[in-house]
Structures are given as structure tokens and as C-alpha cells.
């Protein structure tokens, strides 16, 4: 049915030259935004120590600590300097890779980060890849099966299964997986990092909920594209179904799927803290929990800063990737 005759309301985009200009303006804008956010993050992590009520050194060392030790610690941290001088020193140090020294172990925080960051990143990236590989085909399949409300059974199963899977947080998956596959069945090691088998349970526990989320998005996007006129036209041309789904529908669903995928990756990095804790995975997450409970402020400060920076970098990459994949998004945004 034709419905209401539509009036053409959209204005034509100008030709190639301004498109290229729009694209570089788009990149510049995102870079500027990234640098500003990074600066705000730096100030926030600096301020963190100063927001602690009372004296952070005394809070860390305890009331019984000798006054000489506290004074020495304060001087080492530069806490006796004016605040702006402290900020300047802090920024300079961070930019040259000096994140301070741990209260507890005395090792440089920079060393802690460089030793542990790769383990955390490996976990988060592998989990993202696994989640995307499972979820995108699953979501597309579900979309194709449930087009125009056919196969209501599949739809109900899919939505409640993914709804349930999304609602369970990664640390519960981790605990249950450990209880069943490590302790109960003994198939995988319960903790630690080493052989490839040690990766399986941590990655699974991190990937399940995001995979369910991405599968949902992918299905909705697939349904929307299937209802569009260009798919109708492709069907009128009698193109093979597989060609319609893979060549026509898939690229158009990826934009939204990757946006969510990128957001999930940042969530995944946070989730990895809990999963590392369950599996005693030697990443940053395990260390930050220790440092907060034991009031080892330099480590907490450094690790939070790194986590924040990773989130910002991931967001930047997702935005830029989208701009490249979907040439109109760069222009639309203006």
C-alpha cells in the first residue's frame, strides 16, 4: 500500500570536494575532543588524591605511623608544594612515563602498568572478537527468520534468551563457569594465565553478555534493512538470497553493530576487572582492587588513569572507524 504520498524533504549533499573537506573536519573535531577529554581525565586523576578527606598519607600509613615517615612520604609525593606546581609536576611526570611509586611494594607504577596492561588488553580484545563472531551471524540469522513477524516461536526464544544472557553480569558467569568447568568437571584450569586453555573461561565469561547484546542489535538492524526499498528492489531483481543478505544487508547493519560493539568494548574493559579477580588473571584489574583496598594511592591513581585513557582511545577509534565505513555519517553529524 502506498500510504501517504511523501514530499521530498531532504536536501542533496554537495559533491565530492566538500565531502572530503567534511571528512577532514570530522577527523579534526574528534581529535580535538579526544585531547580535551584526555586533559580532563589527567586533572581528574590528579584531583582524586586531593579529594580524599584528610591526609591521604596518614590514611594510607595509619594513625600509628611515626611523624617522620609521614613527613618524608609527603615530601616524596610533593604534597608540600603549592597545588598548581603539583599539578604541573604530575602532568610532566605522567607524560614522561613516570606514574610514581607504589606505597606498598616500592616498585614504579609505570612498571606495574607495562607488565600488566598487555594481559588485560589481550583478554578484552579476544572477548570482543569472540562476541562479534558469535553475535553478528546469530543476530542476522534471527532477523531473517523472524522477518515480518514470522516464526514467532523463534522470536520469543531469541528475545528471552538474549534478555536473560544480558542480565547476568560477567562475574557471575565467571563464578558459575569456574564452579562447573574447572572445579566440577576439571576441563579447564580454575585460575592463572598460561596455556591457551587458561584463556577459555575468562574470555567466555566476558563475552557472553556482550554477545547477547550485539546479537539483539544485529537482529533489529537486519529487520530494518530487510524492510527497506533497496532490499525489495534486490528481491525484485531476483538476486540469490545469500547475496542479498551478505552483500546488501550486512554492510548496512554493521554501522550500528560496531557502534554498540565499541561501547561494549569499553564496558568489557571494566568487566575485566571482576573477571581478572575471579580467575586471578595477572592484569591491571587484579592490581587495582588490591591497591584500593590497601590504600596504595599511587597505583590506584595510575591504573585508573590508564583505564580512562583506554576508554577514550577506544571511543576515538570507533568514531573514526564509523566515519570511514559510513561516508555519510561524517557529514550527517555537522
Partner 1 sequence: MRQLLRTPAGLAGTILVALMVVVAIIGPPIWGVEAERINPSVILQGASDAHPLGTDNLGRDILARVMVAGRLSLLLALLTTLIGAVVGTVLGALPSVLPRRGARLVTGTVNALVAFPGLLLAMFTAVVTGLGAKGAVLGIGVAIAPSFARLTQTLAASVAGADYVSAARMLGVPRMRVMTRHVLPNIAEPLILNLTQALGSALLALAGMSFLGLGVQPPSFDWGRLLFEGFNRIYDSPAVALGPAVAVALAGIGFNLLGDALARAAARTTTPAKTAPAPVVARQEIEEPDPEAVLEVRDLTVTFPGGVTPVRGLSLTVAPGEIVGLVGESGSGKSLTASAIGGLVPYPGEVTTGRLRLCGADLDELAEHERRKLLGTSLAMVFQDPMASLNPALRVGGQLAEVATVHQGASREKAWDRAVDRLDHVHIPEPARRARQHPHELSGGMRQRVVIAMGLMGTPRLIIADEPTTALDVTVQRQILRLLRQVTAETGAATLFISHDIAVVGELCHRVVVMYAGRVVEELPVDQLVAGAAHPYTRALVASLPDMDTDRSQPLASIPGRQPAPAEVGAGCAFASRCELATDRCSTELPPLIPYGKAHQVACWEAQ
Partner 2 sequence: MIIKNLTVRFGGFTAVDDVTLEIPQGAIVGLVGESGSGKSTLAKAVTGLVRYSGEITGGDSRRIQMVFQNPYASLNPRMTVGTSVAEGLKLPRAARAAEVERLLSLVSLPAAMAERYPRELSGGMRQRVAIARALGARPELLVADEITSALDVSVQGAVLNLVRSLREELGLSMLFISHNLAVVRYVSDFVAVMHQGRLVEVGPTEEVVGAPRDDYTRSLLEAVPRLGRV
- Residues 206-235 touching partner 1, rule: CB under 8 A, are 228-230, 232-235
Binding mask 86-125 for partner 1 (x = CB under 8 A): ----------------------------------------
Secondary structure (DSSP) of 242-275: HHIIIIIIHHHHHHHHHHHHHHHHHHHHHHHHHH
Q: Is the sign of the CA dihedral 120, 166, 257, 30 positive or negative?
A: negative
Across-strand partners of 108?
A: 101
Among 1, 7, 67, 185, the residue binding partner 2 under the rule CB under 8 A is: 7
- Residues 269-328 touching partner 1, rule: CB under 8 A, are 269-271, 273-274, 277-278, 288-289, 292-293, 297, 300-301, 304, 307-308, 311, 315, 326-328
- Dist CA 97 CA 111 (whole Å): 9
63 binds, among partner 2, partner 1, none (CB under 5 to 8 A by kind): none
Read off the C-alpha cell for 156.
Answer: 520469543
- Dist CA 123 CA 213 (whole Å): 19
Q: Which is nearer to partner 1, 85 or 228 (CB)?
A: 228
21 binds, among partner 2, partner 1, none (CB under 5 to 8 A by kind): none
As a whole number of Å, the CA-based R_g of the chain is 25
67 binds, among partner 1, partner 2, none (CB under 5 to 8 A by kind): none
Across-strand partners of 101?
A: 108
**What is the signed CA dihedral for 26, 29, 34, 40, rounded to 10 degrees?**
-160
- Residues 8-27 touching partner 2, rule: CB under 8 A, are 8-9, 11
268 alpha carbon, distance to own chain's centre: 5
175 binds, among partner 2, partner 1, none (CB under 5 to 8 A by kind): partner 1
Whether 292 contacts 303, CB under 8 Å: no
Binding mask 165-204 for partner 1 (x = CB under 8 A): -xxxx-xx--xx-xx---xx-----x--------------
Q: Which chain residues interact with partner 2 by CB under 8 A?
A: 4-5, 7-9, 11
Amino acid at each position: 500500500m502506498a500510504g501517504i504520498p511523501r514530499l521530498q524533504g531532504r536536501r542533496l549533499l554537495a559533491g565530492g570536494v566538500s565531502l572530503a573537506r567534511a571528512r577532514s573536519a570530522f577527523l579534526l573535531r574528534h581529535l580535538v575532543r579526544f585531547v580535551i577529554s584526555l586533559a580532563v581525565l589527567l586533572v581528574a586523576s590528579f584531583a582524586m588524591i586531593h579529594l580524599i578527606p584528610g591526609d591521604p598519607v596518614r590514611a594510607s600509613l595509619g594513625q600509628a605511623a611515626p611523624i617522620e615517615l609521614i613527613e618524608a612520604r609527603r615530601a616524596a609525593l610533593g604534597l608540600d608544594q603549592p597545588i598548581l606546581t603539583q599539578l604541573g609536576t604530575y602532568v610532566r611526570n605522567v607524560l614522561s612515563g613516570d606514574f610514581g611509586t607504589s606505597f606498598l611494594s616500592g616498585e614504579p607504577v609505570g612498571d606495574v602498568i607495562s607488565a600488566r596492561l598487555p594481559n588485560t588488553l589481550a583478554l578484552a580484545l579476544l572477548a570482543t572478537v569472540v562476541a562479534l563472531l558469535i553475535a553478528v551471524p546469530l543476530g542476522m540469522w534471527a532477523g531473517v527468520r523472524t522477518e515480518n513477524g514470522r516464526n514467532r516461536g523463534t522470536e520469543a526464544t531469541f528475545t528471552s534468551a538474549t534478555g536473560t544472557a544480558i542480565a547476568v553480569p560477567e562475574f557471575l558467569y565467571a563464578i558459575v563457569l569456574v564452579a562447573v568447568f574447572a572445579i566440577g568437571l576439571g576441563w579447564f584450569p580454575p585460575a592463572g594465565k598460561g596455556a591457551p586453555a587458561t584463556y577459555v573461561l575468562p574470555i567466555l565469561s566476558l563475552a557472553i553478555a556482550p554477545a547477547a547484546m550485539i546479537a539483539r542489535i544485529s537482529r533489529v538492524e537486519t529487520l530494518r534493512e530487510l524492510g527497506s526499498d533497496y532490499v525489495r528492489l534486490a528481491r525484485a531483481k531476483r538476486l540469490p538470497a545469500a547475496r542479498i543478505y551478505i552483500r546488501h544487508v550486512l554492510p548496512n547493519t554493521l554501522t550500528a553493530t560496531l557502534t554498540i560493539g565499541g561501547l561494549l568494548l569499553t564496558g568489557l574493559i571494566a568487566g575485566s576487572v571482576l573477571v581478572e579477580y575471579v580467575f586471578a588473571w595477572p592484569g591491571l584489574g587484579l592490581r587495582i582492587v588490591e591497591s584500593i583496598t590497601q590504600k596504595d594511592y599511587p597505583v590506584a591513581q595510575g591504573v585508573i588513569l590508564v583505564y580512562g585513557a583506554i576508554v577514550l582511545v577506544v571511543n576515538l577509534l570507533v568514531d573514526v572507524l564509523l566515519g570511514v565505513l559510513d561516508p555519510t555519517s561524517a557529514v550527517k553529524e555537522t
